[in-house]
Amino acid sequence: MSSTATIGLPCMLMRGGTSKGAYFLAGDLPADPRERDQLLLRVMGTPDPRQIDGLGGAHPLASKVAVVSRSAAPDADIDYLFLQVGVEAPTVSDRQNCGNLLAGVGPFAVERGLVPAGDVRTRVRIRMVNSGSLATTTFPTPGGVIDYSGETAVSGVPGTAAPVVLDFADTEGAVCGSLLPTGNVRDEIDGIAVTCIDNGMPVVVVAAGDLGVSGYETPAELAADAVLRERVQSLRLAAGKLMVLGDVRDASVPKTTLVAPPREGGAISTRTFIPLRPHDSIGVLGAVTVATAVLLEGTVGHDLARLPAPGAAMGIEHPTGRLDVGIDLDTATAPPRVHRSSLVRTARKLFDGTVFPRTY
Ligand code: NQM
């Protein structure tokens, strides 16, 4: 047991978008990934469905960690490593990005003095270490002080807060190596048409109707459907191989998104499994990826969508509202190229202090 694990270590709890996590400076954690992961399991209280002995919120969306440091990359100010900590299972995975926790990374970097605050707003260039993709985040810092309060509402979060604008570049194939890792806009698995796509998050897109549901169910209704869960698992296990992810039984990716025609003025309606638990909304890069999918001709979802005017934001409807995503896509090339994507989130500093990992 290292001494870092027995004495406390600095930790900030933040809500980023519709997720919540523990933010650390990389230098405050053990450098050895195995030692670091053991420590984080104790910090979050994993494995335990209630995470009663740790900071985790007993849900994958509240069992997340951001590890932040100054970047050596010439085009980035900050490096951000995202770690998904299991709830029931003692897992710590770096195989996916998290665009929601990303919303807190810029403010955290300012809070910890890694980046100076601008007089009106601050722009931080962030390298997402999990994939090497770049994100730029911009948030208000009037008078050089972060202002977390504001009028921006994010579906799935009560109240309003200051806008955190996220711009993504190089997310195409971030995890799988290419936007359409199977080489096709559409494949068939278990007799069902799917689109396997990765624009920052590996996602299997399926028409809800093909799985015998409407696609407008509540997350609780979807969670109660054991047959659906089995079919989703079967699809993602096969898709994992096709998407060059290998055996994904214990991995958090690919996610599966069920799509249906929009009902709330957006472009498409979604219900997402992360990877088997229904999401109350949808992940940031998950939404970016699904928006990209439905823009491409021939994909599952393209014909179900009500596409906005070219250049307008794509409204991705989800169980608790809508996430509007801007996608700059060049479909004239083969395969199509995504130049950038952008959206708005909010973040909140919840707590700053010292966490005491349990010692054994
Ligand atoms: O897709 C959930 C979330 C996420 C990840 C998940 C995320 C993203 O809602 O970028 O933000 O898909 O596990 O935070």
**pLDDT of amino acid 310:** 86
Residues of the chain whose pLDDT is less than 50? 1-5, 360
Nearest-atom index, ligand 1, CA of 275: 13
* Lookup: tokens for 246: 């290998």
- pLDDT tens across 312-334, in order? 999 999 999 999 999 998 888 87
**pLDDT of amino acid 330:** 87
Helices 284-295, 99-111: crossing angle, 10 deg rounding: 140
- Are 304 and 261 within 8 A, CB to CB? yes
Helices (H) and strands (E) in the chain, counts: 6, 17
Find out whether the peptide bond into 335 is cis, omega within 30 degrees of 0. yes
- Quick check: CB of 199 below 6 Å from ligand 1? no
Q: Whose CA is nearest to atom 12 of ligand 1?
A: 283
- Quick check: CB of 97 below 6 Å from ligand 1? yes
- pLDDT tens across 334-354, in order? 778 889 999 999 999 999 999
- pLDDT tens across 77-96, in order? 999 999 999 999 999 999 99
Alpha-carbon distance of 99 to 287, in angstroms, equals 10
**pLDDT of amino acid 88:** 95
- Quick check: CB of 18 below 6 Å from ligand 1? yes
3-class SS of residue 321 = strand
Distance spanning both ends of the chain, measured CA to CA: 8
Nearest-atom index, ligand 1, CA of 281: 9
What is the 308 CA–ligand 1 centroid distance (Å)? 24
The one-letter amino acid at 287:
A
> How many C-beta atoms lie closer than 10 Å to residue 224's C-beta?
12
Cα 203 from chain centroid? 11
315 φ, ψ to 5°?
A: -85, 110
Contacts of 353 (CB under 8 A, 6+ apart): 10, 11, 12
What is the 75 CA–ligand 1 centroid distance (Å)? 24
**Strand 121-128 and strand 78-85: pairing?**
parallel
Among positive and negative, which fits the CA dihedral 232, 237, 242, 245? positive
What is the 7 CA–ligand 1 centroid distance (Å)? 31
25 φ, ψ to 5°?
A: -80, 135
